[in-house]
Structure formats: structure tokens, C-alpha cells
């Protein structure tokens, strides 16, 4: 199936045209996207470091995750919305951009990594809530998450250079 006609149709809508041509809409979306990224990675990194055994502002891992996760989610949704709007404006070229495609791939891997953690080590968090270092499964999840999300940020910046 060829996705280009669909992307072209999206790109021709008035919203997409406005974002592409207004001059200030695109940089403003980018700015909000970066603020969102800063909160997503900033909060996730604190949790990931805790999973690796670096204590955060509280000792218990569960309460820390509960502290930060709402901020992570709100910021992530903000990134998805601003990202989709930017994608609408130039979808036909983004799908041919290698950095963009790899970024989407890494996002999926980061999601899978998070799901594995939540279905695995997180279910037994009561057993290791205040234990240092955390169990191996949690450490692996934290390490992978730090790397995967850093990769997402890198590839996002590289989109503009390919």
C-alpha cells in the first residue's frame, strides 16, 4: 500500500498548510515539543537512575515513580500532539527520512521496554521498593530506557540534517 497519497491529502488540509506556511507556527510547535521532551526525558531519567540504584529525592522507588509519572505522561502527550502536527505539515518527506523512521522504531522499543518492566519487576516492587541495588530486571529496564530515550532525542535532532 502506498501511503504517499494519504500523506499528501493530509498535507493539503488547511491546518497543515497553515503550519507549513505561517512562519511562526512550526518553530512554536518545535519549541513546545522541546519543552515536552525536556520533561519526558528529565523525569524518566530520574526514575531510570533510581532503577539503576542512584537514589532520587526519596528512598522508595514506588513513590518516586508515582511522583513523576503524571508529569511524564502529560509531557509525552504534549510531544505526541505537537509531533503529529509537525508531521501533518510535511508527512510526505518525513516518511522518507531515515532518522525519522529510526526515531519511530526506537520509540516503539522504549514503549516495549516500559511494558516489560511494568508487567515484570514493577509488579513485585513491594519486595525491592527500598532495596539498593534494585533487582537485575529493574536495572536492565532502567539502563535500556536511558539509552533508548537518549537515542530518540538524538534521532529527533538528526531529522533536520538528513
Partner 1 sequence: MSSSLIIAWIYASPLSTAIRDILWVIPTVQSIHIIAITVLFGSALISDLRLAGVFAGDEPLRGVVRRYYPWMRNALIVLLCTGLVMIIAEPDRVLVNSTFWLKMVLVVTAFGLTWLLRRPLLRPAGPADQDDASRPVKAFAWLSIGLWCVVIICGRWIAYTI
By the criterion CB under 8 A, which residues form the site for partner 1? 23, 27-28, 30-31, 34-35, 37-43, 45-46, 55-58, 67-68, 71, 150, 153-154, 156-158, 160-161
> What does the alpha-carbon distance between residue 34 and residue 36 come to, in Å, rounded to a whole number?
5
Q: Which is nearer to partner 1, 27 or 133 (CB)?
A: 27
Toward partner 1, which CB reaches closer, 15 or 38? Answer: 38
DSSP string, the chain: ---HHHHHHHHTSHHHHHHHHSSSHHHHHHHHHHHHHHHHHHHHHHHHHHHHT---SSS-HHHHHHHHHHHHHHHHHHHHHHHHHHHHHHHHHHTT-HHHHHHHHHHHHHHHHHHHHHHTGGGGHHHHTT-SSPPHHHHHHHHHHHHHHHHHHHHHHHGGG-
Residue whose CB is less far from partner 1, 7 or 103: 103
Whose Cβ is closer to partner 1: residue 12's or residue 23's?
Answer: 23
Please report how close the Cβ of residue 87 comes to partner 1 at its closest, in angstroms.
17
* Least gap, CB of 52 to partner 1 (angstroms): 15
Q: Name the minimum Å distance from CB 60 to partner 1.
A: 10
Closest distance of CB 93 from partner 1, Å: 17
Amino acid at each position: 500500500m502506498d501511503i504517499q497519497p494519504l500523506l499528501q491529502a493530509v498535507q493539503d488540509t488547511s491546518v497543515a498548510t497553515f503550519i507549513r506556511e505561517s512562519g511562526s507556527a512550526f518553530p512554536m510547535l518545535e519549541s513546545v515539543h522541546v519543552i515536552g521532551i525536556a520533561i519526558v526525558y528529565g523525569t524518566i531519567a530520574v526514575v531510570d537512575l533510581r532503577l539503576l540504584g542512584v537514589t532520587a529525592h526519596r528512598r522508595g522507588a514506588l513513590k518516586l515513580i508515582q511522583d513523576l509519572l503524571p508529569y511524564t505522561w502529560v509531557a509525552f502527550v504534549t510531544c505526541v500532539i505537537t509531533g503529529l502536527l509537525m508531521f501533518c505539515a510535511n508527512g510526505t518527506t518525513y516518511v522518507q527520512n531515515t532518522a525519522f523512521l529510526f526515531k519511530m522504531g526506537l520509540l516503539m522499543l522504549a514503549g516495549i521496554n516500559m511494558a516489560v518492566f511494568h508487567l515484570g519487576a514493577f509488579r513485585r516492587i513491594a519486595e525491592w521498593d527500598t532495596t539498593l541495588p534494585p533487582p537485575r530486571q529493574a536495572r536492565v529496564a532502567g539502563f535500556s530506557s536511558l539509552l533508548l530515550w537518549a537515542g530518540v532525542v538524538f534521532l529527533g535532532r538528526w531529522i533536520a540534517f538528513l
